Structure 1
Amino acid sequence: MSDIIQLLPDHVANQIAAGEVVQRPASVVKELLENAIDAGAKNIHLILKDAGKTLIQVIDDGSGMSETDARLCFERHATSKIREAEDLFNLSTKGFRGEAMASIAAIAQIEMKTKLAPNELGTCIQIEGSKITNQELTSTPTGTNTAVKNLFFNIPARRNFLKSDAVETRHIIDEFQRVALVHFEVHFILNHNNSEIFNLPSGNLKQRIVNIFGHKTNERLIPINEDTDVLSLDGFIMKPEFSKKKRGEQFFFVNDRFIKSPYLHHAINAAFDGVIERGCHPGYFLYLRVPTNTIDINIHPTKTEVKFDNEKVLYEIIRAAVKHSLGQFNVVPSLDFTKDKNLETPYSYKNKPISEPRIQVDPNFNPFKTETSFNPFETDSPKTTTANNSSHSKSFDSSSSVPKKKNDWEVLYNGIESIANTEIDTQKLTPQLFETKETKLIKDTFQIQNKYILCNLNTGTFLVHQHLAHQRVLYENFLENITVKEASSQQLLFPISINYSQQEIHILKNIKMELESTGFMFDEITKENVIVTGIPTTISESQISMVFEQLIEDFQEDIQENSFSQLDMIAKSLSKTLAIKTGTRLTEPEQEALINDLFTCKEANISPFRKKIYSSISNKKLDVLFNLD
């Protein structure tokens, strides 16, 4: 039998390695930004086109590379960070394995210009599919300018698996923020399709957080500072009242590297236990620094998962530090059982002189004398029962508040006869969550676990998921109001201003026209605020913030991939946000209205997100269950 094992060509091996390193355009952005940081850059400019599918360009003013280094950086396992295996356990830089540039070059077209500070001319290298097509001297500023074009141009199958531009842009912005938050001494700029999204000048940590997430964030931050022999902890946590239903601003950095650690995240949640509502998530920006020999960062290709030598100790220190900060800044109410509340003096009375109380006595008061009685329904003036009226009774009789004439109080009841004779519509007005479109078709429903509705038809028994059913009803109603009917809007008496980050504002600007066609009205959308002047009639004023948050999250995720248009996506998002939740108790009329509305929908069996709404069992199957067939 002939030999069947052979060595793979370098370009094939690079493409296989690229599958671990380069999963999407955000992976390329992460590697190029980290290379610029390692080069000591103080100004980094990221330029994107078509969410990085067409162009990813990073321009930095770092140290640059020589002609030889510029060529070697595209070879596999070529690195300047490590020399021997022991160096892997004492790392303080970003990239160190020498796989990133070789993997990127295998699946893209790259043009790189770089120059060292002492040199007059730099080097320009052009690579296509791991092959160097051109190398020449060029005039370029000190630093490195790397342009990655047409990602996955030679692997169409991988390119087809990429998501929409909005989703890929969100992943890129996530990577950009993670690098920018930890290197706040560097000036970052992000441009996408000739539009500036971020311009982050150098400054301190708090300024960087505020520049990314908006000026409103400044008043929400609580500082943390803890220094021990095991770790050094700095950063900020968000005040409990600003916790969110969705995971928002949650960032862990270890030795200037973003990580994901569910175990340490649990320590934060444990510290906030009892302070925030159940189901809410706290925000935090925590920076840990541990000895490099106590952490292993080479257990995952993306280096976002790490392994600590003493996780339990870190857990307790982080939990205690967060609790201490919450108590130090009077966020958590404290109880002092040894303090006597009767001895506490209000601040407004603290410096006032103490005056002796005086007793006043009425010498003419007679407790045995009969008081003046008054009947407001008597036509005559009030009579007294004694001949000699005391001063007390005289003052009562002379009061201007006592009506002395019949007309004085009868004026209050003018027109009561006409109101009594008016025919009043005695139709019952009971608050309901649902309005039926037609006459009732189904009766005798029963709610199970405040989650399912059991109903009986001639053909069998149906078990309906109330949340999914209401989603379908609202979805079709929203689509009908948007497309067939003219969307109705209600003007707000006072405009509402809502604060968002620059990334969220960018999303709302992109869907502003679609939101206006659904009934929303905007006065202005600034860099950090959205001013709402009108809302659809189906939405209450208290639901505006919740609706926008869900819209932004759905737009960032893959929901628009399953939508025909932006309007369809908005209708789906609104239906998911406004539908009744699991655990809501419904009255019998509400249950019947929901079931009847559901079965008048065009697709009553599937929710807007392709989930099964109800399950049925025929009468014959019921008979079989009890051996009655």
Structure 2
Amino acid sequence: MNMNKVKILPPEIVAKIAAGEVVERPASVLKELVENSIDAHATSIEVTLKGAGKTLIQIKDNGTGIGKDDLAALFNRHATSKISTLDNLYEIMSLGFRGEALYSIGAISDITLRGKTKEQEHGWELHLRGNERLSQKPFPMATGTEIEVRELFFNTPARRKFLKSNSSEFNAMLDSVIPYTLLYPRIRFLLTHDEKKIIDLPETAHQLERIGNALHLEPRHMIEEKRGFEGMSVHLVLGDINIQRSRRDMQFIFVNNRPVQNKSISFHLNDMYRRLLSPGVHPFFCVFITIAASEVDVNVHPTKREVKIKNESQITLTLRHFSEELIMAKSKAKQFKKSIFSIPEQEQAPAPEGYSFQTENFAALKASLIHAQPAFSAGETGLSFESQPLSFKNENSLKEKLTQSHYIGNLMSKYLLFETNDSLLVVDQHAAHERINFERLKAQVEKGRIEIQRLLTPVLVKLSHQEIEGWEENKEVIEKMGFDCSLFDKETLAIHAHPRLISQPEKSIQNLLAGDSLDKLDMQTLARLACKSSVTSRYALKKEEAEYHRKQLLLCESPFTCPHGRPTVIEISDDTLEKEFLRK
């Protein structure tokens, strides 16, 4: 009887374990194959996807191609043309080098690979399924490589079961390929999904032009500079204050022409932007770092997402100082399109004589442009609103104090200060406005009628590829929210009407599209909509605006927390101040 407990795993299990490390989802396959095309010196890369890569991932390039003699070894583990000695491992400049990608992909899919070198009269086609070779035959083609990956995870149903929706998987695929389009402007990229052309970027010699075209951003809002330092060179492309994102989805770091994730560099650049952007708003930047290959270890993780950099802290500090100098010297002023804070007329509190809120809309036109739009019933939305219990012991007392208080000033353009008989009330103007807008939107949804405002001139919003796909998928739900939108061109959304309570429709649309699929208008969606339509910090409210803010907050069901659960009002008692100043 064999009592051995330790066994050598059979090759088929080893292959699937290895595939699990390298191939997490369709985006992983696309990334590895695009890297192979770039390493093959391709100047044109065409990607065809079906079913978000679950059905088909096809890559066609005009690179150096694959010869017949290399086909035999191509899908063996650790088969690579990138390195051959141990020393090569410490001076890697190619994107691939481990020899695991094709082996891992072949283990869990049906693959057809075609390749031809310039020396060959014709190409060759190899067909595998689960790394089992089914056929090899001549194939007429131009120099380059074509690879088709079908039925991904066909023999690992547990992995396939955990794939996300087509929308999420396709967005992940865009996230994986877009960094390479920025990094290699001299390569033409074409990507189609389900017969629809998504990316079509011609070759260009100008990186700024490629970045603008790939991300649908205006190059005039970018700051670019290259500079050499001891042991490294840095190429920065920084967005100015006019490029504001609701997510960190347009932040790219490249080391030696390789897209990487680096928490330290990301933190310092985002921290640097804090003095320019409001909380919850994120910048755009591209950082291209070139250092000696021996100073970088890319052999950290099978997916090659992370790298180790020698003297990373010093490099990060140098990079931060360079970025701060550049953004402070060359950043442009914010270009406002319309008023930040607006108040509906019929709910406006009586204002002192001669007072009016700032707005670019003509007062006479506003009333005629506002309509009540039947949207959908509360039951249709799937909403079930419940008043959340507050964590304040003396809610009624605090409400009474806020009612009787009077405004004394604004602190740091963030907080409204109100004085009572025995305390100071500090109101977070953004959180309070979020609560006000949230409850107004909630009330309109529950009544089945969302008030909308028609625009004399549509607001044009440039969207990323992912945001455009999100709009295409969710436009019916977005229309039910009160937005009337259409595609102005392949990268621009035209907003013709929006919910009346929304003062910044372009930011609200981007914030809605930042999440996953909007199956229905739920509490989270309303909170996101209310957040981006609310007055931000760094906008100093006037006294009349602050008083209106206070009165509207008091009308809310839950006035002392924002929709995300943060407090809107805190109280500093006279007794606390007395103790702090040692008067007691």
If the length of structure 2 is used for normalisation, what is the TM-score? 0.73
**Residue 69 of structure 1 aligns to a residue in which SS?**
helix
Q: CA deviation at 1:518?
A: 2.9
The farther-off stretch of 198-207 and 261-270 is 261-270
**Residue 242 of structure 1 aligns to a residue in which SS?**
coil
What amino acid is the match of 2:528?
K
**Residue 92 of structure 2 aligns to a residue in which SS?**
coil
Quick check: 1:522 aligned with 2:485?
Answer: yes
What amino acid is the match of 2:211?
I
| Separation in structure 1 between the aligned mates of residue 443 and residue 80 of structure 2, nearest angstrom | 59
**Residue 133 of structure 2 aligns to a residue in which SS?**
strand
- Alignment deviations for residues 461-515 of structure 1 (CA, whole Å, 9 cap, x no partner): xxxx99999899678656545xxx4655332233222222344233223333332
Aligned to 1:568: 521
Residues 278 and 536 of structure 2 are in contact (CA less than 8 Å); yes or no, is this contact kept in structure 1? no
Aligned to 1:312: 313
Aligned to 1:155: 156
What amino acid is the match of 2:207?
L
CA separation of 1:587 and 1:327: change in aligned 2, threshold 3 A: closer
Aligned to 2:211: 209
| Separation in structure 1 between the aligned mates of residue 106 and residue 24 of structure 2, nearest angstrom | 14
Q: CA deviation at 1:21?
A: 0.4
Residues 466 and 582 of structure 1 are in contact (CA less than 8 Å); yes or no, is this contact kept in structure 2? no
Aligned to 1:553: 514
What amino acid is the match of 1:568?
L
Q: CA deviation at 1:125?
A: 1.1
**Residue 320 of structure 1 aligns to a residue in which SS?**
helix
Which blocks of at least 5 consecutive residues in structure 1 are unaligned?
A: 333-426, 432-436, 451-464, 599-606, 614-629
CA separation of 1:151 and 1:468: change in aligned 2, threshold 3 A: farther
Runs of 4+ in 1 over 6 A off after TM superposition: 447-450, 465-472, 580-586
What amino acid is the match of 1:287?
F
CA separation of 1:524 and 1:467: change in aligned 2, threshold 3 A: closer
CA separation of 1:496 and 1:61: change in aligned 2, threshold 3 A: same
CA separation of 1:588 and 1:57: change in aligned 2, threshold 3 A: same
| Separation in structure 1 between the aligned mates of residue 528 and residue 277 of structure 2, nearest angstrom | 24
- Alignment deviations for residues 130-160 of structure 1 (CA, whole Å, 9 cap, x no partner): 2111222222221111000011111111111
Quick check: 1:444 aligned with 2:433?
Answer: no
Larger RCO, structure (CA 8 Å, separation 6 or more): 2
| Separation in structure 2 between the aligned mates of residue 10 and residue 523 of structure 1, nearest angstrom | 54
Q: CA deviation at 1:310?
A: 1.0
CA separation of 1:478 and 1:102: change in aligned 2, threshold 3 A: farther
| Separation in structure 1 between the aligned mates of residue 478 and residue 331 of structure 2, nearest angstrom | 41
Q: How does 1:225-624 map to 2 (within 5 A)?
A: 225-272=226-273, 274-329=275-330, 429=349, 444=396, 446=398, 477=443, 480=446, 485=448, 488-522=451-485, 524-537=487-500, 539-540=501-502, 542-555=503-516, 560=517, 565=519, 567-568=520-521, 572-578=524-530, 590=553, 593-595=556-558
CA separation of 1:243 and 1:515: change in aligned 2, threshold 3 A: closer
Aligned to 2:570: none
- Alignment deviations for residues 179-225 of structure 1 (CA, whole Å, 9 cap, x no partner): 111111100001000000010111121111011122x5211111121
| Separation in structure 1 between the aligned mates of residue 211 and residue 348 of structure 2, nearest angstrom | 55
Provide the aligned C-alpha RMSD in A.
3.6
Residues 44 and 186 of structure 1 are in contact (CA less than 8 Å); yes or no, is this contact kept in structure 2? yes
| Separation in structure 2 between the aligned mates of residue 127 and residue 479 of structure 1, nearest angstrom | 54
Q: State the structure with more CA Rg.
A: 1
Structure with more of its chain in strand, by fraction:
2
Residues 505 and 525 of structure 1 are in contact (CA less than 8 Å); yes or no, is this contact kept in structure 2? no
Give % identity: 29
Residues 178 and 258 of structure 1 are in contact (CA less than 8 Å); yes or no, is this contact kept in structure 2? yes
**Residue 554 of structure 1 aligns to a residue in which SS?**
coil
**Residue 527 of structure 2 aligns to a residue in which SS?**
helix
CA separation of 1:445 and 1:52: change in aligned 2, threshold 3 A: farther
CA separation of 1:169 and 1:470: change in aligned 2, threshold 3 A: farther
What amino acid is the match of 2:505?
I
| Separation in structure 1 between the aligned mates of residue 136 and residue 54 of structure 2, nearest angstrom | 24
CA separation of 1:4 and 1:475: change in aligned 2, threshold 3 A: farther
- Alignment deviations for residues 57-116 of structure 1 (CA, whole Å, 9 cap, x no partner): 000111111123123121111111122222211101011111111111111111111111
Q: CA deviation at 1:548?
A: 0.5
| Separation in structure 1 between the aligned mates of residue 434 and residue 556 of structure 2, nearest angstrom | 15
Quick check: 1:77 aligned with 2:78?
Answer: yes
Residues 71 and 125 of structure 1 are in contact (CA less than 8 Å); yes or no, is this contact kept in structure 2? no
Q: CA deviation at 1:325?
A: 2.1
Aligned to 1:418: none
The alignment of Structure 1 onto Structure 2 pairs a total of residues equal to 472
Aligned to 2:169: 168
**Residue 444 of structure 1 aligns to a residue in which SS?**
helix
